[in-house]
């Protein structure tokens, strides 16, 4: 199967513990992407209970791994919008 759904308990966030579902598309990003060939990981939802998560995503499993992306092939220099280099976002120069 090219897409898997992972289920895990997240204890670190704001309103207390929640069950998180993420999908991993193992076919990966297309050739033109800077992440070409790496798996596509998408947040699918957060649920108060495991049962709610499984009702919405019955194929989710705690045994499925979540794809990992690596960025060490990207250059170290900033490639952010030039707007971030100005004191205010309104400054367009």
Reported pTM: 0.68
pLDDT surpasses 90 at 5 = yes
Q: Is residue 39 part of a domain?
A: yes
End-to-end CA distance of the chain: 49
* pLDDT surpassing 90 at residue 91: no
Q: Classify residue 18: in a domain, yes or no.
A: yes
- Give the pLDDT score at 13: 61
Domain region containing 57: 3-62
Position with higher pLDDT, 46 vs 65: 46
Both tokens assigned to 29: 């990003």
In a domain, 81, yes or no: no
pLDDT of amino acid 79? 57
How would residue 78 be classed by pLDDT, with cut points 50, 70 and 90? low
What pLDDT, on a 0 to 100 scale, did the predictor assign at position 15?
66
Counted domains in the chain: 1
């Amino acid at each position: 199967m090219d897409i898997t759904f992972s289920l895990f308990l997240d204890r670190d966030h704001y309103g207390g513990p929640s069950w998180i579902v993420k999908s991993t598309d193992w076919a990966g990003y297309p050739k033109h992407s800077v992440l070409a060939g790496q798996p596509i990981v998408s947040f699918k939802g957060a649920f108060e209970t495991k049962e709610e998560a499984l009702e919405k995503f019955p194929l989710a499993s705690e045994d499925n791994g979540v794809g990992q992306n690596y960025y060490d092939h990207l250059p170290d220099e900033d490639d952010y919008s030039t707007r971030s280099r100005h004191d205010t976002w309104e400054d367009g120069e």
